[in-house]
Amino acid sequence: MAEYVVARADELKPGDRKLVAVGRIQVVLFRVGDAYHALPNICPHQFGPICEGKITGAIMANADTGWEPGWFHDGEVLVCPWHGLEFRITTGQCLAYPNVRLRQYPVIVDGDDVKIAL
């Protein structure tokens, strides 16, 4: 597994993202709070450029909410711009399907560099 420098440590503010190409692979680096996450820029549904989508929260309802809709994961949900499939940036988990998850690339902060491992 090789490491690639994709950003400077002071480059992304919380809520920012950066699209990078590593060879033929498009990866998006996200900063959520103080943590970094790197996801592939391809939606597993119909291969849309997922990381160009809105970063927001999600409406969810379950037994804990008494089945009333509530707002969850604010600033941590990525919505595919093509058909609206939602993913947790922090885990890659698709909200619509328990068995669908985006690949997460390891992110390493090394001094002034932010690197991803592929």
Partner 1 sequence: MVVATPRRLTLDDILVVDADVHVHETPDELAPYMDPEWRPAMENLRQVARRYLDMPGFGPNNAPRLPGTSLPSPRGGRVEIVWTAEQMRRELDEFSIDVGVIFPDHFLKLAALPNAAYATAITRAYHRWLKEKWLHAGNDLYATIMAIPQDPEESVREIERWADDERFVGIYLPTHQVYPIWGHRKYDPIYEVAQRHDLPVLLHAVSGIASGFPYNVEQFYTSITAHTVSHVFAMMSNLMSIMETGVPVRYPNLRIGFIEAGLTWVPFLRMRLDKEYNENRHQWPHFDDRPSRWIRKFYFGTQPVEEPENRQDLVDIIRIYDGEDTTVFATDWPHHDFDHPRAVFDLPVSNQVKRKLLGTNAMKLMPRIKVPAKYR
In the complex, the residues that contact partner 1 under the rule CB under 8 A are 45, 58-62, 67, 69, 83-86, 95-98
Cα–Cα distance, 27 to 51 (Å, whole number)? 8
- Cβ neighbours of 53 (radius 10 Å): 20
Least Å from the CB of residue 67 to partner 1: 5
Return the number of the residue (17 or 48) whose C-beta is nearest partner 1: 48
Return the number of the residue (54 or 103) whose C-beta is nearest partner 1: 54
Least Å from the CB of residue 73 to partner 1: 12
Rg (C-alpha) for the chain, rounded Å, is: 15
Least Å from the CB of residue 47 to partner 1: 13
Least Å from the CB of residue 28 to partner 1: 21
Q: For residues 59-78, b (16+ Cβ closer than 10 Å) or e, as one string?
A: eeeeeeeeeeeeebbeebbb
Return the number of the residue (62 or 91) whose C-beta is nearest partner 1: 62
Burial class (CB in 10 A: 0-12, 13-18, 19+), 104: middle
Return the number of the residue (8 or 83) whose C-beta is nearest partner 1: 83
